[in-house]
C-alpha cells in the first residue's frame, strides 16, 4: 500500500460520518492502541488511527526521527480527509505531534479549515516540558525510563525477541520527541482539552495546564485515575468524555461551544 492512506488505520462508524477523530499514539506505540475506541464513539464519528513508519504494516520503512518531518508528512496525508471537521487526539509523544499537525493545518499555506478541536493527553505543553536524553542512553536505561511511566506494553521489553524488535522504534521515537524544541510555540485557534492521569510521573499539572497558553479558544483540563498510561484501563471513561464533546461539535463552522 502506498500514498497518504498508509498513514491511517480507518475505523468507519456511519456510512456518512459527521466528524473525523484522528488519534496519534505515544512513543513506541502503534495504531492498535485505539482499536477498541470505534464502538465506544458515536456512530457518525470516523476514527483514523495514525500509523507511524517502522512498525506493524510499515515495519520495512525507516522510522521518522524529527518532529518537522513527522508532522509535515501526517499533515499532507490528512489533506484528502479535510472535507469533514477534524478532531485530533494525541497521547504523550502523540500529543506533541497532534499539536504540530494542528499548527500546519491552521497555517497560512494550508487549504481548508483547521482542526475543530484538539484533545492532548499525557504531555506537557512544549514550552513547559522537562528536557531528557533517553534516546542516547543504554538500552536498559531507555527501557527503565519507559517502564517507570506505567505498565502499558512494558512486559514486552522483557521478552528478548520482542525487545530486539521494539527497541529501535522506541529509540527513534524518543529521538524525535527529545530533540523537539519549541521555546515560543504558535498559538492555535482551535479549542483544547488536556487530559492526564492523576499519578503520572512523567508530567506535572502546571505543565498540562500550560496548553491553555497555546489556544485562543476554550481550554479545559480533565484528569483520570492512573499513571501515564491511564487511557488503557480508563478507556471507557475517556472515550465517553470524548464522545460527549464530539456530539456537541458543530458540523459547519467551529465558533460554537464544544467543550
Q: Which of 169, 182, 178 is nearest to 66 (CA)?
A: 178
| Contact assessment for residue 200 and residue 26, using Cβ atoms and an 8 Å cutoff | no
Q: Which helix (H) or strand (E) holds 66?
A: none
- CB atoms < 10 A from the CB of 259, how many? 14
Q: What is the DSSP letter of 188?
A: B
| Contact assessment for residue 25 and residue 123, using Cβ atoms and an 8 Å cutoff | no
The Cα-based distances of 221 to 19, 195, 214, 225 in angstroms read 22, 6, 14, 14
Active-site pick, 92, 121, 124, 212: 92
Rounded CA-CA distance 150/228 in Å is 6
Q: Which residue has the cell 499548527?
A: 103
Rounded CA-CA distance 47/63 in Å is 23
| Contact assessment for residue 250 and residue 127, using Cβ atoms and an 8 Å cutoff | no
- CB atoms < 10 A from the CB of 38, how many? 18
The Cα-based distances of 99 to 73, 92, 164 in angstroms read 14, 11, 31
| Residue 92 annotated in active site | yes
What torsion, rounded to 10 degrees, do the Cα atoms 74, 80, 83, 85 define? -10
The Cα-based distances of 134 to 47, 70, 111, 129, 142 in angstroms read 32, 20, 37, 15, 5
- The residues annotated as belonging to the active site are 92
Amino acid at each position: 500500500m502506498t500514498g497518504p492512506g498508509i498513514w491511517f488505520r480507518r475505523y468507519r462508524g456511519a456510512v456518512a460520518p459527521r466528524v473525523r477523530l484522528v488519534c496519534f499514539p505515544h512513543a513506541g506505540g502503534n495504531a492498535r492502541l485505539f482499536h477498541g475506541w470505534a464502538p465506544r464513539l458515536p456512530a457518525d464519528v470516523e476514527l483514523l488511527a495514525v500509523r507511524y513508519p517502522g512498525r506493524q504494516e510499515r515495519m520495512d520503512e525507516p522510522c521518522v526521527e524529527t518532529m518537522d518531518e513527522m508532522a509535515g508528512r501526517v499533515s499532507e496525508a490528512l489533506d484528502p480527509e479535510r472535507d469533514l471537521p477534524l478532531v485530533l487526539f494525541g497521547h504523550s509523544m502523540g500529543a506533541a505531534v497532534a499539536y504540530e499537525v494542528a499548527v500546519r493545518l491552521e497555517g497560512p499555506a494550508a487549504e481548508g479549515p483547521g482542526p475543530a478541536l484538539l484533545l492532548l493527553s499525557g504531555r506537557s505543553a512544549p514550552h513547559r516540558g522537562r528536557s531528557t536524553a533517553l534516546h542516547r542512553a543504554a538500552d536498559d536505561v531507555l527501557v527503565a525510563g519507559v517502564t517507570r511511566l506505567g505498565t502499558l506494553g512494558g512486559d514486552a521489553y522483557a521478552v528478548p525477541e520482542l525487545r530486539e524488535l521494539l527497541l529501535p522504534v522506541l529509540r527513534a521515537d524518543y529521538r524525535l520527541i527529545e530533540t523537539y524544541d519549541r521555546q515560543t510555540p504558535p498559538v492555535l485557534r482551535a479549542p483544547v482539552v488536556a487530559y492526564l492521569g492523576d499519578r503520572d510521573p512523567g508530567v506535572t499539572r502546571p505543565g498540562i495546564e500550560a496548553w491553555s497558553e497555546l489556544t485562543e479558544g476554550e481550554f479545559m483540563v480533565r484528569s483520570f485515575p492512573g499513571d501515564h498510561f491511564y487511557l488503557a484501563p480508563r478507556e471507557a471513561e475517556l472515550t465517553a468524555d470524548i464522545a460527549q464533546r464530539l456530539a456537541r461539535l458543530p458540523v459547519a463552522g467551529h465558533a460554537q461551544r464544544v467543550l
